[in-house]
Amino acid sequence: MEFLEVFKGRRSIRSYKPDPVPRAVIDEILAEARWCPSWNNTQLWEVVVVQGDALEKFKSGQLEKLASQAPSEPHIPTPEKFPPKWHQRVMQVGISCLKAKGIGKEDHEKKNQYFQEMFTLFGAPVMLLFLLDEELNLPYGMMDIGIFMTGVSLIATAKGLGTLFLSTVIRYPDLLRTLFAIPENKKVVMGFAMGYPVESDPINRFERQRIAVEDFVTWME
Ligand SMILES: Cc1cc2nc3c(=O)[nH]c(=O)nc-3n(C[C@H](O)[C@H](O)[C@H](O)COP(=O)(O)O)c2cc1C
């Protein structure tokens, strides 16, 4: 695939085939992603790959947390409120997803089912967790991890895989620590789902929105 085809072809995948991703493929993606830039070449990302029984246990744990309405306590707090200018964009994604699923505004049962799907990675067979050591400068480290995750996501796309950055999987660090032996001195910065997309599913096909270039660029000449 051409680079720009991969770049623009990457999109959030919210419906996955159950087919496992061979370990060699995941290994290769991570090995290639090492060529991402990082501040002073610190390469401070740490990754936990979760699949098989370990992922099934996590999915059960997530559903228990959702059912008990456990409070979300991620190491990196999710923004709760957006100023109006940005709020509209936040709303748009949710509207597009629910519309693609044919879920009405007031259909609480189906909405709940949708959240269950999200909490269980939309059926993805692989979860990647991205960690940062507590000793490192968090804002700067997050920049490097963000760049690395983008690399992983694009390389995965080039190999025919789908990915989804998913703040929903880092809501309960206690669950992650218990199941995956993540030490106390590591912060779970973000996670994502990975697997083979169900190409025909409308949730993987709706038209995405982007702002115009002039809305975020200032030229000085
Ligand atoms: C840090 C981060 C966390 C995200 N968390 C979620 C999530 O919890 N659930 C979800 O459905 N999408 C999540 N997304 C996906 C975004 O909604 C998506 O990237 C955005 O709408 C742009 O769409 P695109 O990725 O298809 O281009 C997340 C994206 C990022 C970068």
Which class for 123: exposed (0-12), middle (13-18), buried (19 or more C-beta within 10 A)?
A: middle
The one-letter code for the residue type at 72 is S
Mean residue pLDDT of the chain comes to 96
Residue with tokens 């999915």: 59
Decide if pLDDT at 1 tops 80.
no
36: which residues sit within 8 A by CB, 6+ positions away?
Answer: 144, 147, 148, 150, 151
Three-state secondary structure string covering the chain: CCHHHHHHHCCECCCECCCCCCHHHHHHHHHHHCCCCCHHHCCCCEEEEEEHHHHHHHHHHHHHHHHCCCCCCCCCCCCCCCCHHHHHHHHHHHHHHHHHHCCCCCCHHHHHHHHHHHHCHHHCCEEEEEEEECCCCHHHHHHHHHHHHHHHHHHHHHCCCEEEECHHHHCCHHHHHHHHCCCCCEEEEEEEEEECECCCCHHHCCCCCCCCHHHCCCCCC
pLDDT tens track for 8-30 = 999 999 999 999 999 999 999 99
Q: What is the reported pLDDT for 80?
A: 84
Ligand 1 proximity of 154 Cβ (cutoff 6 Å): no
- Going by pLDDT thresholds of 50, 70 and 90, the confidence category of residue 82 is confident
Does 205 sit in the ligand 1 pocket, CB within 6 Å? no
CB 190 within 8 Å of CB 131: no
pLDDT at position 175, please?
A: 97
181: left (phi over 0), alpha (psi -120 to 50) or beta: left
User: Is the C-alpha dihedral spanning 110, 115, 116, 121 positive or negative?
Assistant: positive
| Best residue for ligand 1 mutational test, from 164, 172, 188 (most atoms within 8 Å of Cβ) | 164
Among all chains, which residue has been given the structure tokens 């507590």?
Answer: 134
Nearest CA to ligand 1 atom 18: 12
Which pTM was predicted?
Answer: 0.97
pLDDT value, residue 126 = 98
159: Cβ–Cβ under 8 A, 6 or more apart, which residues? Answer: 25, 28, 29
Average pLDDT of span 62-73:
97
Given this model, what pLDDT does residue 81 score? 87
Ligand 1 center to 12 CA (angstroms): 6
| 150 Cβ below 6 A of ligand 1 | no
Q: How far is the CA of 220 from the centre of ligand 1 (A)?
A: 32
Residue 199 to residue 2: CA distance in whole angstroms:
19
* pLDDT greater than 90 at residue 102: yes
Going along the chain from its start, the domains and CATH numbers come out as 3-210 (3.40.109.10)
Mean pLDDT confidence for 38-62: 97
